[in-house]
Structure 1
Amino acid sequence: MTELLLKYFRSKQQEVESEKIYDTQCPFCSMQCKMQLIEQSIVTRKNYRVIGLNNPTTEGRLCIKGMSAHQHAFHSDRIKTPLLKIDGTFVPITWEQALALIKEKVLKIQSDYGQDAMSVYGSGSLTNEESYLLGKFARVALKTKYIDYNGRFCMSAAATAANQAFGIDRGITNSLSEIPNSKCIILAGTNIAECQPTIMPYFEKAKENGSFIIVIDPRNTATSKIADLHLKVKPGTDAALANGLLKTIMEGNFIDSTFIDDRTTGYQALKEHISQLKIDEICQLTGVQAEQIHKAATMFGSSESGMVFTARGVEQQTDGYLAVRNFLNILLVTGKIGKEGCGYGAITGQGNGQGGREHGQKADQLPGYRSIENPIDRKYISEVWGIKEENLPRKGVSAYEMMEKIDEGEIKGMLLVASNPIVSSPNANFVKKALGKLEFFVAVDMFISESAALADLILPSTSYLEDEGTMTNVEGRVTLREAKKNVPGEAKHDWKILSEIARILGKGEYFPYRSAEDIFNELRIASRGGIADYYGITYQRLKEEGGILWPCPDVNHKGTDRLFEEVFAHENNRAIMIPVRNSPEIEKEQSSEDYPLLLTTGRVMAHYLTGVQTRKSPSLAARNIESYIEIHPSTAQRYGIKDKSLVQIDSRRGTIVVRSKITAEIRPDTVFVPFHWAETQNVNNLIGNELDPTCRMPGFKVCAVKISKVI
């Protein structure tokens, strides 16, 4: 028997022709979980196995997206050669032909209309190196002011609020390891259990340790199930709810007077403002009972430590910046920041949403979180890049506003890199129409996305398994993503594509890189002395240490686990509080007789952003094959809608049709639709074009709609 078993195992072992191991990290959310993909070639087929690798952030945990990520990288639909649209059909061409066409079209557009007639639209999924290079490419190779990225729709409200209040925006002011030690935690507008599942054990451990968890969300979610108190707020009223919490905290004397006096400014104006507000009016606005507001405020105010986390539910509003500022006011009046178990966390959505905004993709930023309008910052970066300061463009406009500039005829050409604005932008029908007006449209992608389908030319890019580089996760921890898989066909790394385009435009001397590490070493210098200082981080250190939290100003610095222990980052070392109105400056859509319901949007666990990659993964696509609308049973009954039936949703801007999901987990006056689908299921066809006046965030989370059954 033993001899037969040995013979059997030997025969099976011989079937395995080869085995490849790829150490990498998940390309999706901001947790950036480390993992290993094991590829076994067995006779005529390949098997894949994924295991989590130990790391400081997620300790080897993976979610279903990470376990399935490789499926899109090996998908047969991958673009492997440049594609040119001829008579409405994409046909393969050579790189030489593609680059020659780009040179011809770009030079003509800029000769006819000026440098700013070309634009660049980036992504929060790019590596730090490619984010940095994209900003440099726009400003040095194209000399255009028009560059922004899809992270504008993710993090602009929280980033602006943290910068204005603290002087620094780093996703989380502490390391995640402090969460279990916090005695009271507010999770505002974040469904981390589905969006960042591998972060959940930190909060579950906090609960085991006796932490009181408060969830603020109009829906019952997988996250709200761990809450001790769930405030089921009416969409769009988060700033007013924060005012209610502040009023109770102040009247209950739960403030930290010493901290306020020594380390903040603006308290007196805030106090006077809050004293004029009435709790009953806040309750009426928010739909949250006074008893619940009192309990939440009392628990947070009286706890010896506390943390506040916000995400898109609070931030994707036309007053998202102010709503976040008001939650930061809560931290500052109670002195719960810069200490063990105390701090703020903006739950970054995209894989490199943090690093993407630190190194130059945003219209108003230069590397190291420098300002493109600051003379000192401009001079420093110009010297690093070897150009004259007067040749460095000024700031442009936000991502959505670039679409308006295209529609108005000011922008004539666009280079789109790893993004899908037709699906991710508000007022999506308008965006599709605007992109159709471009005289020359180039998309860099792995697949023909809904946006790339409109392009004149598509350039094939590489996946996370092939493209090495650093990413900055939700903590502000810089990690090194290794990539050993061979590049398929004629695809190229984004940084190589940018460098080659720069070369044919006569700017090759500014883009001499031979590796991602070359670019990172220049980024280190460009960020040196800036807010986001990476100078002390090297590839070698990242390999040895598994990740480093910025700022890290020199190679002997261990990185910064906790910000603001002694001072804030403003010149006077103080944080700034400001009064925030209950009602926003830009009025949000309200329900009406014609549009009686409020629509809010969000994510599902199995999909990521616009679904271009996750819908190419059979394991993920099978979990959610189509979009849906969550409707309260009483609302469904009122409109004669049955469960799992088709529902038409109309707003003032568009119409979509999705399947119903009747659930008591949502408010009767609110419906919910996820945003991962396109065309007739694209919820952003319904969303308006109003933007936050400070950070230019669209108001994705509040939209007046009507619903009807599809007969």
Structure 2
Amino acid sequence: MSRLMEQLRSEPASELVMDTQCPFCSVQCKMQIIEHKVDGAQSPTYSVIPKPNLASEGRLCIKGMNAYQHVLTGERILHPMLKKDGTFVRISWEEAYELIIHKFNDIRSQYGSDAIALYGGGSLTNESAYVLGKFARVALRTKYIDYNGRFCMSAAASAGVKALGIDRGLTNQLSDIEQARCIVLAGTNIAECQPTLMPYFTRAKENGAYIIAIDPRETGTTRIADLHLRVKPGMDATLVNGLLKVLLEEDLVDRDFVQQRTKGFAELKSHLEGLDLTEIAELTGVSAETIRQAAAAYGKAPTGMVFTARGVEQQTDGHMSVRNFINLALLTGKIGRPGCGYGAVTGQGNGQGGREHGQKADQLPGYRLIENPEDRAYVAGVWGIDPDELPGKGVSAYEMLVKVHEQEIRSLFVMASNPLISNPNANLVQEALEKLEFLVVADFLMSETAQLADLILPASAYLENTGTLTNLEGRVLLREAARPAAGEAKPDWEILCELADRLGRGAYFAFSSAEDIFNELRLASRGGVADYYGITYERLRKEEGVYWPCPEPDHPGQKRLFETSFPLPEGKALLTPVDNHLPKEQASPEYPLYLTTGRILTHYLTGVQTRKSHSLAARDVESFVEVHPKTAKKYRLDEEALVKLESRRGVVYVRCRYNADIREDTVFVPMHWGDTQNVNKLTLDALDPTCKMPGFKVCAVNVSPFVSEFY
């Protein structure tokens, strides 16, 4: 018996039971963390128990099982800290607030309100996201606010609004997956990014589903597929054109659905008839025969679902790529009924709710638009201000940092985000942040961005604050605080409200609890696309989550969208021709390979939280580049050796891993590390013209052995 077990049995113990949910991906799995304190032991031990719930069905992945570690380690930011002579020193909250107000007022008086910008995060609760958006527009009166969800869901969000009239991650419940007889998984690695969802797909296979995976590399997700389309990076929209052309040629179109419930078929048909399948095969690297096989499987299936994620969306034509995948569902009538639908697999924990209530540059709560006069008037009425006081539309997250670089923006307030690692062209981003007159970061762990800050504010962690989050289905969940905040940390919304009070706008932020904020959010969203009015904390405690839209307290919440109509003119969805599109940056003799980026099982986003978990960090200590063995031989790359990756924008050094199932013209690097392994030093900063999503998934690079640097 181990010494620890002997101690646990022999010494008096006390327990703290914490009911919570995982802070990481969009499934938002429920769990119970138990803190065991033993007399005489130096520190407590912890055990984690998955809790039954409707999304994960009581499962937890390795990240969830270890999610307590980064909160309960000794690396927390516990007090406000001011940088003096390059070193952070502890100051009081009052000193921190006085400094912020002094700096903000000084910058506003010199350069105007728009010289201050706010940068939010997709892990904030709905309540904190709502207050952040309101703080920008009412307390600071700046138009410059955006958030890191711009890099996660903007392509799918804008495509869903245009084609379907609404942006909700999944148009149906997760339980519908098992009824689908064909499933298309496009640019999504659910096995590593949302692993607790995998049983839905394995059960679908057991029920006879045919699974098609679209990805340039083999992953845990593609391994469950019946057919894997190894598409050339950046050519997803073109590949779908091939699938649509075959559906048309083989008469696998649901003509009744198309006629009664969509618009634009004639234009789409004419466009597809003008395309050549042989040319599409050449452009995509997927044979015409394979394209025909995939189209037939999906077209002939009585039910089917299409899922996209960052592999499709993080491209300079991400918006139109998603539009084409939605065309696939609409042309076959596979939406708005059991076993059918389209879904964008949301990445961040509150990536869905975070973009609904005001963090985005163009939005007000409830998915209202800041440039729409009726929307402005309604929200201004809820907030008790004149609509003319509301600023206009700002710019996207990366564009905001370009304005920092150009010194149009002089001060940046970052909350729950790490833009130095998450933005493309990271060298330019670092230069921009270093130009700021005043950088404030509110977070609970030290990030690469926080290290550059003039002032750091300690925010509470997920175990310590109450609030709602909206999972990938559009199900609103309540996560209640399970322990007091560490040190002097405060909830994000409380920090903002106290700052607003010191700016003389406290009357508009007189909230005493997260529930107070949610009740105002309910009213601000009422009648909007993302209508939360019928959802209350009381309901969330009783019902374990409620789907939006939910317009009234007695409404059950809409679990499946579009059963009878679409919220667009005439109630019809919009089919749209999509041109074949080449990535903005092509391979060349100098940069002969395509780089694509993504996630791995053990880490999350920029790694700030997971790299602080000793159990997770030990599994993947450093970054790597995945290379086909033939490519490695060509460029003299030894397995497990350090290699140099270079693009037109920067250089990183990572460990080489062989993968015989990745395309020979493609290399893959995960996004979870900073410094010399920050892959976004390489990525292209070209943006999608519609949604301003950067093209993370495709840029041109060269690769060489690291040792050659010394010879």
Fold shared per TM-score above 0.5: yes
- The equivalences for 1:140-155 within 5 A come to 140-155=138-153
Q: For the Cα contact (< 8 Å) 1:653–1:685, is it kept in 2? A: yes
Q: Which amino acid aligns with 1:606?
A: T
Q: For the Cα contact (< 8 Å) 1:135–1:360, is it kept in 2? A: yes
- The equivalences for 1:292-331 within 5 A come to 292-331=290-329
Aligned to 1:445: 443
Q: Which amino acid aligns with 2:466?
A: E
Q: Which amino acid aligns with 1:539?
A: Y
Aligned match for 1:576, one of 569, 574, 577: 574
Aligned match for 1:620, one of 616, 620, 628: 616
1:674 aligned to 2:670? yes
1:217 aligned to 2:221? no
Aligned to 1:709: 705
Aligned to 1:260: 258
Deviations 1:591-632 (A, max 9, x none): 110000000000001101000010000000011000000000
Runs of 4+ in 1 over 2 A off after TM superposition: 9-14
Aligned to 2:373: 375
The separation in 1 between residues aligned to 2:559 and 2:101, in whole angstroms, is 46
Q: Which amino acid aligns with 2:637?
A: I
Aligned to 1:4: none
Aligned match for 1:607, one of 580, 593, 603: 603
TM superposition shift of 1:483:
1.3
SS of 1:171 mapped into structure 2:
coil
Deviations 1:198-243 (A, max 9, x none): 0111001000000000000000110011100000000000000000
SS of 2:146 mapped into structure 1:
strand
Deviations 1:149-195 (A, max 9, x none): 00000000000000000000000000000000001000000000000
Q: Which amino acid aligns with 1:628?
A: F
Aligned to 1:474: 472
Q: For the Cα contact (< 8 Å) 2:597–2:669, is it kept in 1? A: yes
Aligned match for 2:288, one of 266, 287, 290: 290
The separation in 1 between residues aligned to 2:479 and 2:661, in whole angstroms, is 39
SS of 1:598 mapped into structure 2:
strand
Q: For the Cα contact (< 8 Å) 2:149–2:354, is it kept in 1? A: yes
Aligned to 1:136: 134
- The equivalences for 1:316-395 within 5 A come to 316-395=314-393
TM-score, normalised on structure 1? Answer: 0.98
SS of 1:368 mapped into structure 2:
helix
The separation in 1 between residues aligned to 2:320 and 2:215, in whole angstroms, is 18
Aligned to 2:11: 15
TM superposition shift of 1:10:
12
SS of 2:132 mapped into structure 1:
helix
Q: 1:708 to 1:95 in 2, by over 3 A?
A: same
Q: 1:304 to 1:11 in 2, by over 3 A?
A: closer
TM-score, normalised on structure 2? Answer: 0.98
Q: 1:11 to 1:600 in 2, by over 3 A?
A: closer
The separation in 2 between residues aligned to 1:265 and 1:11, in whole angstroms, is 70
- The equivalences for 1:10-159 within 5 A come to 15-43=11-39, 44=41, 45-159=43-157
Q: 1:268 to 1:16 in 2, by over 3 A?
A: farther
Deviations 1:401-422 (A, max 9, x none): 0011111111111110010010
Q: Which amino acid aligns with 1:350?
A: Q
SS of 1:690 mapped into structure 2:
coil
SS of 1:661 mapped into structure 2:
strand
Q: 1:300 to 1:10 in 2, by over 3 A?
A: closer
The separation in 2 between residues aligned to 1:243 and 1:11, in whole angstroms, is 65
Q: Which amino acid aligns with 2:164?
A: F
The separation in 1 between residues aligned to 2:533 and 2:581, in whole angstroms, is 43
1:657 aligned to 2:657? no
Q: 1:10 to 1:657 in 2, by over 3 A?
A: closer
SS of 1:48 mapped into structure 2:
strand
Q: Which amino acid aligns with 2:677?
A: Q
SS of 1:471 mapped into structure 2:
strand
Q: For the Cα contact (< 8 Å) 1:154–1:348, is it kept in 2? A: yes
1:162 aligned to 2:160? yes
Aligned to 1:521: 519
The separation in 2 between residues aligned to 1:415 and 1:12, in whole angstroms, is 46
Contiguous gaps of at least 5 residues in structure 2: none
The separation in 1 between residues aligned to 2:136 and 2:93, in whole angstroms, is 21
Q: Which amino acid aligns with 1:625?
A: V
The separation in 2 between residues aligned to 1:484 and 1:339, in whole angstroms, is 39
Q: Which amino acid aligns with 1:618?
A: H
TM superposition shift of 1:13:
5.2
The separation in 1 between residues aligned to 2:260 and 2:635, in whole angstroms, is 57
Q: For the Cα contact (< 8 Å) 1:16–1:40, is it kept in 2? A: no
Aligned match for 1:188, one of 182, 186, 189: 186
TM superposition shift of 1:583:
1.8
Q: Which amino acid aligns with 1:102?
A: I
1:511 aligned to 2:509? yes
The separation in 2 between residues aligned to 1:561 and 1:235, in whole angstroms, is 34
The separation in 2 between residues aligned to 1:654 and 1:594, in whole angstroms, is 14
Deviations 1:467-516 (A, max 9, x none): 11000001110000111211111111101100011011101000111110
The separation in 2 between residues aligned to 1:440 and 1:225, in whole angstroms, is 48
Q: For the Cα contact (< 8 Å) 2:641–2:656, is it kept in 1? A: yes
Q: Which deviates the most, 200-209 or 481-490? A: 481-490
1:407 aligned to 2:405? yes
Number of equivalenced pairs: 703
TM superposition shift of 1:588:
1.7
Identity of aligned residues (%): 61
- The equivalences for 1:412-561 within 5 A come to 412-561=410-559
Aligned to 1:590: 586
The separation in 2 between residues aligned to 1:123 and 1:572, in whole angstroms, is 36
Q: For the Cα contact (< 8 Å) 1:218–1:234, is it kept in 2? A: yes
1:698 aligned to 2:694? yes
Q: For the Cα contact (< 8 Å) 1:213–1:229, is it kept in 2? A: yes
The separation in 2 between residues aligned to 1:16 and 1:609, in whole angstroms, is 40
SS of 2:204 mapped into structure 1:
helix
SS of 1:97 mapped into structure 2:
helix
1:642 aligned to 2:638? yes
Q: For the Cα contact (< 8 Å) 2:8–2:38, is it kept in 1? A: no
SS of 2:228 mapped into structure 1:
strand
Q: For the Cα contact (< 8 Å) 2:78–2:458, is it kept in 1? A: yes
Q: For the Cα contact (< 8 Å) 2:7–2:38, is it kept in 1? A: no
Aligned match for 2:229, one of 209, 226, 231: 231
TM superposition shift of 1:571:
3.0
The separation in 1 between residues aligned to 2:6 and 2:94, in whole angstroms, is 50
Deviations 1:272-317 (A, max 9, x none): 0000000000000000011110010001001101100000000000
TM superposition shift of 1:42:
1.2
SS of 2:299 mapped into structure 1:
helix
Q: Which amino acid aligns with 1:199?
A: L
The separation in 1 between residues aligned to 2:636 and 2:404, in whole angstroms, is 42
Q: Which deviates the most, 38-47 or 240-249? A: 38-47
TM superposition shift of 1:665:
1.8
TM superposition shift of 1:11:
8.7
SS of 2:462 mapped into structure 1:
coil
1:198 aligned to 2:163? no
The separation in 2 between residues aligned to 1:583 and 1:97, in whole angstroms, is 53
SS of 1:556 mapped into structure 2:
coil
SS of 2:464 mapped into structure 1:
coil
1:631 aligned to 2:627? yes
Q: Which amino acid aligns with 1:465?
A: L
Aligned to 1:6: none
Q: Which amino acid aligns with 1:48?
A: Y
